[in-house]
Structure 1
Amino acid sequence: MSDLFAVTEATWPAVAVHDVGPFRVREGRGGGQRVSAATAEGDWSDADIDAVEVAQNRLGQHPLFMIRPQDTRLDAALAARGYAVKDPVNLFEAPVAALLGEIPRLSAFTIWPPLAIMRDIWAEGGIGPGRIAVMERAKGPKTTVLGRVNDRAAGSAYVAIHGKTAMLHALHIVPDQRRQGSAINMMRKSAEWAQDHGAERFSVLVVQSNNAANALYTSLKMQVVGQYHYRSYKP
């Protein structure tokens, strides 16, 4: 299994990362929870949590921590402070080769930078300029994927590579074009692009409450290889 936390960090990067004692505090500026959460990188005390809260407030961010499998003590400490569990996430992974398959002609294209129509599709799904800026910041191989069905644009996604692992983010299918194979075609096109750029593993993160996305990745024989959740606090 790849270190998907490192892959996420590289393929969906924060604007800046600030060291606050043993914690890493990410500055997201509208890029979503992944780039706005704090993580424990060493031994910590209650005073360190206080310092993180101050730092996040100064950045204009609500206190938010990512809780990984090794963070059970932090999870309990935040719960005691009144932090709520938010958005449990599944980490899926599979060999790139396992996702390859026939792609109907003119059904999916890899494009960088993204087209205006792709930005419009993302905006419809709540993926706005802050998240587009995350894609633009990423270093290394990256692309966006445009899906087509019924002779019209049907979906948009972003894929980037860290090491030998590709990770897909921001997959959104136009609501009235769903359940017509576009997401599968886009996944296969993404895997094809990833293989062409040296990746051996393919991964994606999805909130556990997104039943359709979890079903899609499971149908493609991807395996859940890890999980995490957030703890958030809003007074």
Structure 2
Amino acid sequence: MDFTTGGRLEVRITPADVGKRVSVRLLTGEPDPHMRFTDVVGVLTSWTGDVLCVTRRTGETVRIARSSLVAGKVVPAAPARRRGPAASARELDRVAARGWPAVESEPLGEWELRASGGFTRRANSVLALGDPGLPLDAALDRVTGWYAERGLPAYLQLSTGAEDTQELLAGELAARGWTKEVSAQVRIAGLAPVADRDADISAVALSRRIDDAWLARYQRSAAPSPEVRAVLSGGPSVWFATIGGAAGDETPAAIGRVVVDGRWAGFAAVEVAPERRRQGLAGAVMTALARTALDEGASAAYLQVETDNGGAHALYEGMGFTVHHSYHHWRAPHGDAR
């Protein structure tokens, strides 16, 4: 990583570069001369006084004292990865929002305020893509007021780690005392390889309608409300998969959901009874749903999985899903909850 001109380290970034992708080298304080420096690459999200913040593609923000900075430069945007279907983060975020639709929504400029009785942050947060049509502080006041009217905490959903994501807005929220509570990855894959897997799908039943048995296996809601049913059933073309439980047990051994939206098939709610895990049931559910989505004309697949869900990451990596970008839910300061 070249930071030098004529063999000398140089800091070639200034506060005017906020919002750009940068690479910086800083002193670590390590006494070992071989470990004295570390490099950070990401979006320069703020530079206030003697402290600058760089947000990595994972959403992690690194605070750097100006006194520790020994080199820095603006670097080109990260090259697009083509290990899966070509797509922008904004396209995927909008498709995913349609596939997990809120019960109530309202535009704020290009932002979308969403509420669903508190069922999942995805359906109870602002999809903050583009311009809210107001100065930021005024927009955030509108957001916190709107959610307070519904008895809900105010969240913004922001993406990081791809071209045209919201690292800069994340920095603005952090400076205003908002806190990042949950992070997840958006993973993508070609749909045909998922559908072509050698899986026994003979026990998988598919339906257009959600029923009480399916909901009994679903872990996101102990007592399904009308909002739960509305979100799960919403979307352009939704299918539910079920593998029955043992004889006499009405609760399914495994479930899953897919929503088809043009070329995209979005997978969600893939769950397996603890005593039936590692028996290939999740793979069978995914394969059956993928074949149905393929029949409807989809060619690409996406899913969203929380960063700390190691078991799910292993399953999806084995099926060819790669990370496209990350997203995070930022919560308003408690004093602003109104």
Could you tell me the TM-score, scaled by structure 1's length? 0.90
Q: Residues 234, 179 of structure 1: CA spacing in aligned structure 2 closer, same or farther, 3 A cutoff?
A: farther
Q: Residues 209, 84 of structure 1: CA spacing in aligned structure 2 closer, same or farther, 3 A cutoff?
A: same
Corresponding residue number in structure 1 for 2:12: none
Contact 1:94 1:203 in 2 (8 A): yes
Name the SS for the 1:94 alignment partner: strand
Corresponding residue number in structure 1 for 2:182: 87
Counterpart-to-counterpart distance in 1, 2:118 and 2:296: 29
Matched, 1:55 2:150: no
**5+ residue gaps, structure 1:** none
Q: Residues 179, 234 of structure 1: CA spacing in aligned structure 2 closer, same or farther, 3 A cutoff?
A: farther
Name the SS for the 2:138 alignment partner: helix
Q: Select the structure that is richer in helix.
A: 1
Q: Residues 20, 182 of structure 1: CA spacing in aligned structure 2 closer, same or farther, 3 A cutoff?
A: same
Counterpart-to-counterpart distance in 1, 2:190 and 2:297: 12
Which of 219, 229, 240 in structure 2 is aligned with 1:132? 229
Corresponding residue number in structure 2 for 1:180: 279
Q: Residues 181, 125 of structure 1: CA spacing in aligned structure 2 closer, same or farther, 3 A cutoff?
A: farther
Contact 1:13 1:35 in 2 (8 A): yes
Could you say which structure has the larger radius of gyration?
2
Counterpart-to-counterpart distance in 2, 1:64 and 1:150: 41
Counterpart-to-counterpart distance in 1, 2:264 and 2:149: 34
| Equivalent residue letter for 2:231 | V
Contact 2:210 2:229 in 1 (8 A): no
Name the SS for the 2:253 alignment partner: strand
Counterpart-to-counterpart distance in 2, 1:91 and 1:150: 34
Matched, 1:42 2:139: no
Q: Once the two structures are superposed, what CA deviation does each residue of 1:30-68 show, in whole Å capped at 9, x if it has no partner?
A: 331111111333064222212211111112210101112
Corresponding residue number in structure 2 for 1:67: 158
Counterpart-to-counterpart distance in 1, 2:92 and 2:111: 19
Contact 1:109 1:147 in 2 (8 A): yes
Contact 2:210 2:233 in 1 (8 A): no
Corresponding residue number in structure 2 for 1:214: 313
Which of 323, 328, 334 in structure 2 is aligned with 1:224? 323
Corresponding residue number in structure 1 for 2:104: 16
Corresponding residue number in structure 2 for 1:119: 215
Counterpart-to-counterpart distance in 1, 2:296 and 2:274: 31
Counterpart-to-counterpart distance in 2, 1:108 and 1:39: 34
Corresponding residue number in structure 2 for 1:96: 191
Counterpart-to-counterpart distance in 1, 2:229 and 2:310: 25
| Equivalent residue letter for 1:131 | V
Q: Residues 26, 103 of structure 1: CA spacing in aligned structure 2 closer, same or farther, 3 A cutoff?
A: same
Name the SS for the 2:106 alignment partner: strand
**5+ residue gaps, structure 2:** 1-85
Q: Residues 178, 47 of structure 1: CA spacing in aligned structure 2 closer, same or farther, 3 A cutoff?
A: same
Could you tell me the TM-score, scaled by structure 2's length? 0.64
Task: Compare 73-82 and 149-158 and name the one that shifted more.
Answer: 149-158
